[in-house]
Amino acid sequence: MINNYEEQNILEFNIADEFFGIYITNILRIIEYSNIRKLPGMAGDCEGIIIFDNTIVPVINLSRILNVKDYHEGEKDKLVIVKKDKDLFAFHINYARKIIKLDDRMIFDDSKLSFVKLRFYENQKRNVYIIDDNELIKYFINKGADNDSDN
C-alpha cells in the first residue's frame, strides 16, 4: 500500500505550559535569547531587534501573539531564526523540545488564528499547536502596518 500523506518535520517547543510546533523548512538556527535591543515606539508583539549574521532581525513575542497565559522569561529561552523570502525574523520561545515527524492526517484546523493548526498526540494526551510561520509573519507585518497607520 502506498502512503499518499506528506510527512513533515516540526520543531516542538514550549511557551509557558503550552506546546507549539513550527515547520523546520524555514528555520535557519536556534540561538540563545540575549542581546535584545529595545527600540522606542515598537509594537507590543515586537520585543526589539537582534543582529544576526550582520542583519537586523525583529524579535517576535509569540506569547503575546498567541495569548499564552502565565508566560515568563526563563534562563532556557531561545530565539528561533526563520527566513521568509529574503527577510529574517526571530521567534522568542521558552524551550526547544525535539524534532517530530507528522503527516497531514495528524493536523486539524481548530483555532481562531489563521496561522495555527491543532495537533493531538494520542500517546501523550496533549495538544501541540502547529504554527505556520509564513502566515504568522504576514500577520505580524500586517499588524505592524495597522499600528503605523493608527499613529
How many C-beta atoms surround the C-beta of residue 116 within 10 A?
19
Residues 15-66 pLDDT 10s = 988 888 888 999 999 999 998 999 888 777 899 999 999 999 999 999 888 8
- The domain spans of the chain are 7-121
Q: Give the Cα separation of 39 and 47 in Å (integer).
A: 9
pTM greater than 0.85 (yes/no): no
Q: Which CATH class is domain 7-121?
A: mainly beta
Cell of 26: 524555514
Report pLDDT for 123.
Answer: 44
Residue 46 burial (CB count, 10 A): 20
> What are the backbone dihedrals phi and psi of residue 116, each rounded to the nearest 5 degrees, phi first?
-125, 135
* Mean pLDDT across 76-104: 89
| pLDDT score of 1 | 43
Q: What is the pLDDT of residue 43?
A: 72
How many angstroms separate the CA atoms of 30 and 134, rounded? 17
